């Protein structure tokens, strides 16, 4: 899929401004210009679409490079898989979230049993409510303890219905540990509170280890489901972009064909080049740089299949060239030497024109095959 038409349409517009008509018809020239301007706007829109597609695949390639080999193997295995529609994926996601929420509720229920057992222990009473810092005169408590926590607060948060509660079991576990860690941190080792906290923490850890396998299994399941959903969404986006690329390709073919037809019409209306014009053209070609000379030879080679444009020595017979080829060469050398005379402020435009000339060599007179739909 080529996008040289983006450059070619600019050069064509330039030709419309410089062409000498065999039978001057200002209205006809203006009509050509309007048609080219319409295509110019269409190509600008196509270019934006192409940039969006290129950016998507650029980001996709970056993600693939950062992925592990295991992910690469999985991608190979997933090739050719059935991809659910976006609507189906949304329905599946809703059902998946609902099922996951129920499983997490069951895990929290089981954790609640552990918390209740710890709370009913005879040594649990000091940890059931927030520490009475003011009442106990613990003036340095907040300097030592960054995040106070107690079992009562944990229980209330587990039962919260306003969406502010815990989202997973590990978060509750972390807060239970924090309750006893805070107590052991603030109270000296050997003190009653330190010993009570240490004992309850050990009992909690024993019971928690029985629940860990189920928590780990659920976390793994959620991770796999999310990876599966992301892969499906990626495949849907790629399928959508593939259709978009095909549509762009078809539009480009139409634009390219239309431009070629207009360009051929303009060239045919050019007056016949005089002997003096040919001589000036030959002299101008002789002054081209090696790079530009190769481009000029490519233009000639399009109407002379036997010409070896990249040979070390090439003999050009200006008089033997068709009028169409001569005018193409004339437009080309005019652009080259106009570019050389521009000021520093016009350097970017000069570079653009050189790119245009390069694109012409590929687009002019090519016999494009229409992309399959």
**What pLDDT digit, counting tens, does each position of 280-320 carry?**
888 888 888 888 888 888 888 877 777 665 556 667 788 88
**CB within 8 A of 86, min separation 6: which ones?**
233, 236
Short-list 333, 326, 325, CA closest to 353: 333
Question: Per the structure block, which two tokens stand in for 1?
Answer: 């899929």
pTM reported for the whole predicted model: 0.49
| Per-residue model confidence as pLDDT tens for the chain (373 residues) | 333 333 344 444 444 444 444 444 667 667 777 777 777 777 777 777 777 777 777 776 666 666 554 455 455 545 555 556 667 767 777 788 888 888 989 999 999 999 999 999 999 999 999 999 999 999 999 999 999 999 999 999 999 887 778 989 999 999 999 999 999 999 999 999 999 999 999 999 999 999 999 999 999 998 888 888 887 777 777 777 777 777 777 887 787 777 777 777 766 666 788 888 888 888 888 888 888 888 888 888 877 777 665 556 667 788 888 887 888 888 888 888 877 665 444 555 555 545 544 554 454 444 444 444 4
Which residues face 270 on adjacent strands? 21
SS3 310: coil
- Between CA 218 and CA 226, with CA 220 as vertex, the angle to 5 degrees is 100
Distances (CA, A) of 289 to 261, 274, 285, 292, 308: 31, 25, 9, 5, 18
What integer pLDDT is reported at residue 136 of this predicted model? Answer: 92
SS3 191: coil
Q: Which residue has the tokens 């139409």?
A: 254
Q: Could you give phi then psi for residue 289, rounded to 5 degrees?
A: -70, 165
**CB within 8 A of 330, min separation 6: which ones?**
273, 277, 281
What integer pLDDT is reported at residue 82 of this predicted model? Answer: 59
What integer pLDDT is reported at residue 162 of this predicted model? Answer: 77
What integer pLDDT is reported at residue 285 of this predicted model? Answer: 87
**What pLDDT digit, counting tens, does each position of 191-229 carry?**
999 999 999 999 999 999 999 999 999 999 988 888 888
Alpha-carbon torsion, ordered 128, 129, 133, 135, to 10 deg: -100
Cα 261 to its chain centre, rounded Å, is 36
For residues 272 and 277, give the distance between their C-alpha atoms in angstroms, rounded to a whole number.
10
For residues 283 and 316, give the distance between their C-alpha atoms in angstroms, rounded to a whole number.
12
In DSSP notation, 11-71 reads HHHHHHHH--BSS--HHHHHHHHHHHHHHHHHHHHHHHHHHHHHHHHHHHHHHHHHS-HHH
- Between CA 172 and CA 178, with CA 177 as vertex, the angle to 5 degrees is 95
What integer pLDDT is reported at residue 301 of this predicted model? Answer: 83
Q: Which domains does the chain have, with CATH numbers?
A: 86-231 (1.20.920.10), 272-373 (1.20.1270)
What integer pLDDT is reported at residue 59 of this predicted model? Answer: 72
């Amino acid at each position: 899929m080529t996008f040289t038409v983006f450059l070619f349409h600019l050069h064509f517009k330039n030709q419309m401004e410089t062409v000498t008509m065999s039978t001057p018809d200002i209205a006809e020239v203006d009509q050509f210009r309007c048609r080219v301007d319409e295509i110019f706007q269409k190509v600008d829109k196509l270019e934006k679409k192409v940039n969006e597609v290129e950016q998507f695949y650029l980001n996709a390639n970056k993600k693939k490079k950062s992925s592990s080999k295991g992910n690469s193997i999985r991608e190979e295995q997933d090739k050719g898989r059935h991809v659910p529609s976006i609507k189906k994926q949304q329905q599946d996601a809703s059902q998946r979230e609902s099922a996951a929420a129920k499983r997490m509720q069951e895990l929290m229920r089981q954790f609640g049993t552990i918390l209740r057992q710890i709370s009913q222990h005879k040594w649990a009473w000091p940890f059931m409510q927030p520490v009475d810092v003011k009442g106990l005169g613990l003036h340095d408590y907040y300097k030592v303890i960054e995040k106070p926590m107690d079992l009562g607060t944990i229980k209330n948060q587990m039962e919260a219905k306003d969406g502010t509660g815990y989202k997973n079991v590990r978060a509750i576990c972390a807060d239970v540990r924090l309750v006893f860690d805070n107590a052991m941190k603030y109270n000296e080792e050997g003190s009653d509170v330190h010993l009570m906290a240490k004992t309850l923490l050990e009992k909690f850890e024993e019971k928690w280890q029985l629940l860990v396998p189920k928590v780990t299994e659920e976390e793994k399941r959620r991770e796999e489901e999310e990876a599966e959903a992301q892969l499906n969404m990626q495949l849907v986006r790629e399928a959508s972009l593939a259709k978009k690329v095909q549509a762009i390709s078809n539009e480009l073919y139409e634009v390219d064909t239309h431009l070629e037809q207009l360009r051929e019409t303009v060239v045919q209306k050019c007056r016949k080049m005089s002997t003096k014009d040919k001589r000036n053209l030959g002299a101008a070609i002789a002054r081209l740089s090696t790079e530009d000379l190769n481009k000029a030879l490519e233009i000639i080679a399009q109407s002379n299949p036997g010409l070896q444009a990249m040979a070390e020595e090439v003999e050009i017979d200006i008089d033997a060239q068709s009028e169409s080829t001569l005018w193409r060469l004339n437009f080309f050398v005019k652009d080259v030497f106009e570019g050389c005379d521009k000021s520093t402020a016009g350097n970017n435009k000069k570079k653009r024109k050189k790119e245009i000339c390069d694109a012409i060599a590929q687009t002019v007179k090519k016999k494009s095959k229409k992309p399959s739909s």
